[in-house]
Structure 1
Amino acid sequence: MKSGVYFIGAGPGDPDLLTVKAYKILQQADVILYADSLVPKQIFKDVKPTAELIPTGNKTLEIIVPLMIEKVKQNLTVVRLQSGDLCLYSAIYEQMIQLAEADIPFELIPGISAYQAAAAKISAELTIPELVQTIILTRVSGSASPMPEKEELKGLASHQASLCLYLAARHVHKAQKDLLEYYSADTPVAVCYRVGWEDEKILIVPLTQMAKATEENNLIRTTMYIISPALKKLSDYEFRSKLYHPSHQHLFRPK
């Protein structure tokens, strides 16, 4: 394997949800920098005994990036292990810019996002024909990452799509209030805590109970919400996809 930096999405927590490619790279890595509060130790069970594991929860970018550059220049294979999937809230954009400026090769290996793992755990398809066909992945404004005004939660809620809300537990009362302006009070919400970890907890409650369920269970960090009419009981649906309907013809199933 070539020396360089491999950004890997570790998934939500379950080591079995690593991609095969991610698993193979981790087995060969010389240095692994990981977000220690978000990546469980089980992920490292098959790494090389000589692999250097470097937690980064207490480090800034000014330390992390030069460290990766230094290790690559020593002809070592470096993994930057992120939780979930790299395309969502992973803060790798600025890391890639600095690596490119230093002429350090890097590659991205995607991972499973928490919303995908949670939907699978509760046996949900978030796009039901004639009910909802759009998934919105978003968060609420925070001090470190304010939201663009055009992407405020209230505006996104107006679409009444399947909405996956990250990083919102500390602002759950305001989030619930904004959502209720457009979603019906009985819209199901999956409150998902540490999906894929040993202490995982998933509660499905009406939208009006979203904040209460969060507080009663002390779900402050690592909590994601899925708000969607698609979370109703399977028996409540009368919809059917046209894709496998006998009346639907296409290239591989002509009339």
Structure 2
Amino acid sequence: MTVYFIGAGPGAADLVTVRAQQIIATSPVCLYAGSLVPQELLAQCPDGARVVDTARLNLDEIVALMLDADAAGHDVARLHSGDPSIFSAVAEQARRLDAAGVAYTIVPGVPAFAAAAASLGRELTVPGVSQTIVLTRVSTLSTAMPEGEDLRSLGSSGATMVVHLGAHRIDQIVEELTENYGPTCPCAVVAFASRSDEIVLRGTLSTIASQVKSAGVTKTAVVVVGKVLAAEGFPDSYLYSALRERTTH
């Protein structure tokens, strides 16, 4: 059998890959990450499938379900919100499966930051404005950030910054990023991106915190900071430019 770590996307049930849909529709066991995975996606599980919400289970209990499925010869669709490559807790599960000799594979999904950019109608890498995106989070009591990965240090480049899992600490984010980006730097917060209850807030580092608090946004949101959010008058990319046509013929 195989455990499939599947990126279930940012929230909309149709923002998943064809591969993910096929695996979900044929796996006898489905483990999903609570309310972050849409019910419409779970409805694609086959009749008689064992479907388990793992939101209240610890790591040992989750892995035990996978090992039980392995012993029964059943594939497992393990659904995580967004994409498994960032902030998914896949690494520790995969480590346990390696130790147990259980096969697994990863199926990518649409990450939250990409869905947020789509909702904002913005490209996060604009020619002459920013060609780098920093994907990060803020330190919490349960999980500290490694040395050198605080927002002040990461913001020294002025690159487009996307902060996950931090809406409840918007004051801290604003304080630590204002030093490098300035109070008038464009900023946006997108909560529940792609879902029917999506919330999109736009402002600057000096105004965004009050908007977040007024809207009651505390979780399932990304904070985007950078000049790309208001970029105008930038040069066309070389990929589609008339100059490229002249120099390649």
TM-score norm. by structure 2 comes to: 0.96
Instruction: Report the equivalent of 2:124.
Output: 126
How far apart, in 2, do the equivalents of 1:220 and 1:247 lie? 47
Amino acid in the other structure paired with 2:198 = E
Instruction: Report the equivalent of 1:191.
Output: 189
Q: Deviations over 1:54-93 (max 9, x none)?
A: 0011110111101111112101111111011101111111
Q: 1:111 aligns with which of 105, 109, 112?
A: 109
Instruction: Report the equivalent of 1:245.
Output: 241
Asked if 1 retains the 8 angstrom alpha-carbon contact of 2:129 and 2:234, the reply is no
Asked if 1 retains the 8 angstrom alpha-carbon contact of 2:126 and 2:234, the reply is no
How far apart, in 2, do the equivalents of 1:126 and 1:170 lie? 23
Listed as ranges, the matches of 1:62-101 within 5 Å are: 62-101=60-99
Q: Deviations over 1:9-44 (max 9, x none)?
A: 101001111011011101101111111132121211
Instruction: Report the equivalent of 1:254.
Output: 248
Deviation, structure 1 residue 249: 5.4
Runs of 5+ consecutive residues of structure 1 not aligned to the other structure: none
Amino acid in the other structure paired with 1:32 = C
Instruction: Report the equivalent of 1:60.
Output: 58
Amino acid in the other structure paired with 1:218 = G
How far apart, in 2, do the equivalents of 1:200 and 1:52 lie? 30
Give the SS at the match of 2:181. Answer: coil
Runs of 5+ consecutive residues of structure 2 not aligned to the other structure: none
How far apart, in 1, do the equivalents of 2:87 and 2:152 lie? 20
Amino acid in the other structure paired with 1:63 = E
Instruction: Report the equivalent of 1:29.
Output: 27
Deviation, structure 1 residue 186: 2.0
Higher helix share: 2
- CA root-mean-square deviation: 1.4
- Give the percent of matched residue pairs that are identical in Structure 1 and Structure 2: 35
How far apart, in 2, do the equivalents of 1:14 and 1:37 lie? 12
Q: Is 1:209 paired with 2:203?
A: no
Give the SS at the match of 2:35. Answer: coil
**Count of residues in Structure 1 that have an aligned counterpart in Structure 2:** 249
Q: 1:141 aligns with which of 139, 142, 146?
A: 139
TM-score norm. by structure 1 comes to: 0.94
| Divergent runs of 4+, >6 A | none
Give the SS at the match of 1:248. Answer: helix
Give the SS at the match of 2:94. Answer: helix
Deviation, structure 1 residue 118: 1.2
Deviation, structure 1 residue 189: 1.3
Q: Is 1:161 paired with 2:155?
A: no
